[in-house]
Structure 1
Amino acid sequence: MTWLKLWSSSTKDDAKSTEPSRTTEAIESVTQTIDAATTSIQRETNQVLHSNVTAFTQPQTILATVVLTTASLGIFRFYKTYLRRIPQAVNINPSFLRRRSLVGRVTSVGDGDNFRIYHTPGGRLAGWGWFPGRRIPLDRKELKDQTIHVRLAGIDAPELAHFGRPAQPYGQEALEWLTSYVMGRRVRVYVYKADQYSRVVGSAYVWKGLWRRDVSMQMLKAGLATVYEAKSGVEFGKGDEQKYRKAEWWAKTKRKGMWSGKNKNFESPRDYKSRHGVGNPQNEVKP
């Protein structure tokens, strides 16, 4: 029958037309769910970012950051200024001269008025001599290029034999006295200048019992050095020149060392150097 065919065909067409509609609805539902989730995530992310930005802009956070940065820079500056070890005289910054001092242990004595120290910044308080990693080398190979050559300021000791020149009377005695006085001991050196022979000129102090002794002063009192005499290049600590001249006068009065009168043909270190054509005594090369 014709009407039955028509009814049947219409029913099938309706079924076919509803299938795309349901698929579209499902897709739209999934899309809406995704959009809702995305919106929620964005909202939460914005809230977290806003919370973090707010936290970083809080006065407490800013203050803590400033304090931490300042402390870090301060520690680094303190280390660089006071705890960094200086291996040789050539490594001393010019701004250091006449402003700071060096603490170190004497590792060798080359002549009656110069020696070498191994710089130990901070001394025992910084662990030198007892803390692992703060050992002072004893072997010459380990000490190579690791010591500061110091020339005592303000004095001139009798010369040893150098470069074919004969030794002066009391030159050996001056060397032995200085060796026994400072060798292996901790000294503090106030540095005044650097010379062209990779040395520093300065006043050295060593503790003897409860008293701190000026090494140059003690050599003058022992009659084993003279006050440094030159037209230029002389270096003294503040107020030291008059004290040194008084100490030399005292040694002469007491006939100490080279002033004992045993050396009938006395010649000062300065005159000896002039006679042998040696230049500035304070810049003379010493072994």
Structure 2
Amino acid sequence: MKNLAQLSTQLLFASFILAIFLPSGSDAFVAPSWSTTAHASRWQLSPLSFAPSPFSSQASVCKHGILFPPSSPQRLRHAQRAEPLYMAAKRKAAKSVSGKLMPAVQGVMSCATKVLATLFVELKQLSKIQALLFVAIFWIGLTIGRSPSAIGGMALKRFQEASEIPSAFFGPSAPLLRGRVTSCSDGDTIRFLHVPNRFSANKLEKGQTQTEYCLPIRLCSMDTPETAKFGKPGQPFGQEAKEYLQKLLDQKMIKIRLLQKDQYGRAVAEVYAPNGKGCDELMLKKGFAEVYLGGGAVYGPLGKDKYLAFEAQAKKKKLGIWSTGKRESAAEFKKRTKK
């Protein structure tokens, strides 16, 4: 039996390492529920999911690291639950790093899991109070490892859906995210492949789709003319605005700062061209956009008044959308064509 200090340190470290590598989706982790006894020996461990299971000294069946006694009536139910969770988590982990690095990541996760499994067996020798203390240490390690501010946590987790991104990554002081623009839907919406570190794949691989892997991003501060979609006609300069944004961003590595989520499941963000200039500023100066004044409007670091000044400059020079005289705003166009 190891001394308690050594056991505590190993338990905290192993759970922290495992939590960092766990994918951030809700299907990648199942919190164990309390069973009839709180003794730590009843907690069994899987590489990518956790599930409670009765412990027995009999030979047990091991499926993805979860021990199931042959006599356990819960064995089949737990195995059926763990299987899809394991596969879902494995797929999410594969999205976070490049294919070449994945075996190394899986090796680290497997090693941490084995350490935890060994430690949990040793907890059988402790009293109930001691066991509860070590279960608390285990949860502390998981919590720290999965927090946005954890060392290496942000650097290892790729965001693919706005709904799964922690609130710490939104706001004017949020960290910049690096990634590749995989497409421009129109003049103010892009698909962004988050590349959290140099080991992450920075391009979509064969068989990967933008819908599954890339964040939908709405550029802040501005609104551009609508493009033709779903058989509906677009607005004048809608295609030109899209093409200019493509010229600035398409297939290029850029940085963005998330500001908020919108009602369409997108993240509204400050988007910076490779030269460091804000795309909202560039689009407004070229006359391909107007300042967005609708509900929930958020603006880049220069502030609303500065963006209105850029718009006024383009209007004075009769650039782009301001070259046709009387015009219909994007908001008015959407309202009219909805009918």
TM-score by length of 2: 0.54
1:9 corresponding residue in structure 2: none
How far did residue 265 of structure 1 move?
4.2
SS at match of 1:192: strand
Conservation of the 8 A alpha-carbon contact between 1:229 and 1:270? no
Cα offset for 1:194?
1.3
TM-superposed deviation, 1:81: 2.5
2:155 alignment partner AA: Y
1:218, distance to aligned residue in structure 2 (A)? 0.3
1:132-187 CA-partner distances (Å, limit 9, x unpaired):
xx352254635440000000111000011234432110001001111111001112
Deviation, structure 1 residue 264: 4.3
Change beyond 3 A, Cα 1:144–1:166:
closer
> Which residue of 1 is the match for residue 83 of structure 2?
none
Q: How many residues align?
A: 207
**Partner-residue secondary structure (3-state), 2:269:** strand
2-structure distance, mates of 1:135, 1:271: 38
Which position in structure 1 is the counterpart of 2:282? 218
Extract unaligned runs of 5+ from structure 1: 1-48, 129-133, 279-287
Higher helix share: 1
Who wins on radius of gyration, i.e. which is larger? 1
Residue in structure 2 matched with residue 96 of structure 1 by the alignment: 169
How does 1:9-158 map onto structure 2 within 5 Å?
Answer: 69=13, 77-98=150-171, 99-122=174-197, 126-128=198-200, 134-139=201-206, 141-158=208-225
Q: What TM-score do you get using the length of structure 1 for normalisation?
A: 0.63
Partner of 2:336 in structure 1? 275
The verdict on how the C-alpha distance between 1:216 and 1:139 changes in structure 2, with shifts beyond 3 A counting, is farther
Shift of 1:103: 1.4
**2:179–2:202: 8 Å Cα contact kept in structure 1?**
no
Kept in 1: contact 2:249–2:274 (CA 8 A): no
Question: Which residue of 1 is the match for residue 31 of structure 2?
Answer: none
Q: Match of 2:268, SS?
A: strand
Identity %: 31
Cα contact 2:225–2:241 (8 A) shared by 1: yes
Q: Which amino acid letter does the alignment assign opposite residue 285 of structure 2?
A: K
Rate the CA distance shift 1:139–1:177 in 2: closer, same or farther, 3 A: farther
Is the 2:154–2:196 contact (alpha carbons within 8 Å) kept by the matching residues of 1?
Answer: no
Structure 1 residue 170 corresponds to structure 2 residue 237: yes
Match of 1:281 in 2: none
Q: Secondary structure at the match of 1:276?
A: helix
Q: Give yes or no for contact 2:219–2:280 (8 Å, CA) kept in 1.
A: yes
Letter in 2 for 1:270: A
1:248 counterpart letter in structure 2: E
Q: Secondary structure at the match of 2:310?
A: helix
Compute the displacement of 1:271 (Å).
Answer: 2.4
Letter in 2 for 1:172: Q
| Alpha carbons of structure 1 residues 111 and 197: separation in structure 2 relative to 1, 3 Å | same
- Residues 140 and 242 of structure 1: CA distance in aligned 2, closer, same or farther (over 3 Å): farther
RMSD: 3.0
User: Which amino acid is 2:303 matched to?
Assistant: D
Q: Which amino acid aligns with 2:153?
A: K
2: CA distance, partners of 1:138 / 1:116: 15
